[in-house]
Amino acid sequence: MAESLHRQIRVARRLSTLLLIGAMLVGPHAVAAALARGTSIIVFVDFSGSIRGPERASYRLELEREILPALRPGDRIIVAPIHDRTLTGFRALAEATLPEPPRFNGWFDNRLEYNRRLRSTEKEMLDAREQLTRDVREAFSRPYASAYTDIFSSLVMAEKIFSGDSRRKVLVLMSDMIEDNPPYKFDAMSWRPGTTERLLVDLAAKQRLADLTGVCVYVSGASAATAQLVAEIARFWDAYFRRARADFDPSRYAPMLLHWPPSRGCAANQFFKP
């Protein structure tokens, strides 16, 4: 009986050793998987009447040549319009989640089966990229223009879409950033000291100030009739994104898409940095 007990102890020790080795081998993969969840990207494109053909063509090229090619396995992207019915009539123009390649574990995986799954995932990835490109081209080929530009509602919708997503979050606004939706009309307002703060207080009271905590924000297309108006509107959005707790830097607010793709540090930590 004593010999049987010793045999059981030896078996238990060997099993513990195997489990420890397995944990050491699988552990790094589990950590890597957690860190490689990918990025969730929302691109809002201004389709209001103030955006002319050249601007719209520039937005399309930035999507096709910069944003879509930079997508990686595990990334999710939604392309949607900025118009006057964002909250009541939201509809994505293009949407996809790129599959992550299978992870190979020499302890458990069959090499032939793994290669088969890898080829299948690569085909899924290629198909998703091609479909995204087709959807974007189709969206920009439509003769579409809304009467108003409701950027505020687009930001509230971005908050809703990002909610519960564990990926790194990136928001791209392709717009001149001139809010034009009653009662706000940025290009007809008198911008005085205190105007920005009054606007932010009003938006918060109406629950139209989005919570974009940790979201990395880009603006492409910022423009206005005068340099002074461009500066006033830029100052407002800088204050807005800080109040919304976004990861925002003025270097990413420009007439064109700059500093893309996002650096590793952009929105890497999902908390507010004052």
pLDDT beyond 90 at 23: no
pTM (two decimals): 0.82
Residue predicted with more confidence, 213 or 143:
213
At 28, the pLDDT band (50, 70, 90 cuts) reads: very low
Answer whether 187's CB lies under 8 Å from 225's CB: yes
Task: Tell me the pLDDT tens digit for each residue of 110-129.
Answer: 777 777 777 888 888 899 99
The alpha carbons of the chain give a radius of gyration, in whole angstroms, of 24
Residue-averaged pLDDT of the chain: 85
Q: Where are the beta strands (DSSP E) in the chain?
A: 39-46, 76-82, 94-97, 168-174, 180-181, 184-185, 216-220, 253-254
Task: Tell me the pLDDT tens digit for each residue of 193-202.
Answer: 999 999 999 9
Q: Which residues, 6 or more positions from 212, have their beta carbon under 8 angstroms from its beta carbon?
A: 155, 158, 159, 162, 171, 241, 244, 245, 246
Mean pLDDT, rounded, for 165-181: 96
